[in-house]
Structure 1
């Protein structure tokens, strides 16, 4: 009789506790799905902002060629401005293309996040180099605001690219959890 009571109590406990264990697993899964969705949303916002930033910087850098004060630069500095603008424009186009590719990545393309992150960081490094060349070439212009603006815009770009890379790693980490 005591064994029978123990068996009944054990069965009752099992019936009561089993659903709570499955609910815990379901809650974890739901929480993980929420974290993944949140990470994807934050990444999407960062990527969209990055694309806008690239377009804005392209417009600004391209407008440097229209500065009337360039005619007062020495020939060497003037040709450096044209050269660096060309380099930055090419880098911006490459970065924009990479951001568009990342924006349209499928969920299953998790392994590509690292490749695109490295690519963006590499292009950013080249862009900073060309931007620094532009800023140096523009130092001979009386108004140093243009050189300062180039540096400032490239800092903004660096910040947004770093944020995109961070968000991609967040998605990857949330999927592994």
Structure 2
């Protein structure tokens, strides 16, 4: 059997004519994500926007602490002088020209004469002074006791004994006196 032997490789041929573009291939797989890039340069500030609508009113806050005391202000202008107040004065003096007969029971001393009466409601017939102007009053009374008689004289306010003087029986005439101050309000009767 005859075996053929490959021949010697011939010389390289000339380049052939460029072929027609091939058809578009199918889309390839997505590549791996690249590394994070460097930060860009900060841009310029934009134009301010319009003012938004007013929000709802918030709850009231708690009261604050008291502040420090302020300095004393300057004195005010002196006011005008008020009208003169007329003070009502009350005074009286009464007396008897005759003696009163003795009695074993209490009796009110009556009088025969009014010597002084300035705004006083004093009745010589009943011996009663009625206070109509409240204030401090000074009372004084003097009497003469005669021989052989004991005597007690006092001052009553609304039928309550305030003070009195007592004279025992003596063999001669004796002058006695008593006085005192009272704070009286309206409608108080003294005898």
Same fold (TM over 0.5): no
Which is higher, the Rg of structure 1 or of structure 2? 2
The two structures have a TM-score, normalised by structure 2, of 0.20
Higher strand fraction (1 or 2): 2
The two structures have a TM-score, normalised by structure 1, of 0.22
Higher helix fraction (1 or 2): 1
Specify which structure has the bigger relative contact order, considering alpha-carbon pairs within 8 angstroms and separated by 6 or more residues.
Answer: 1
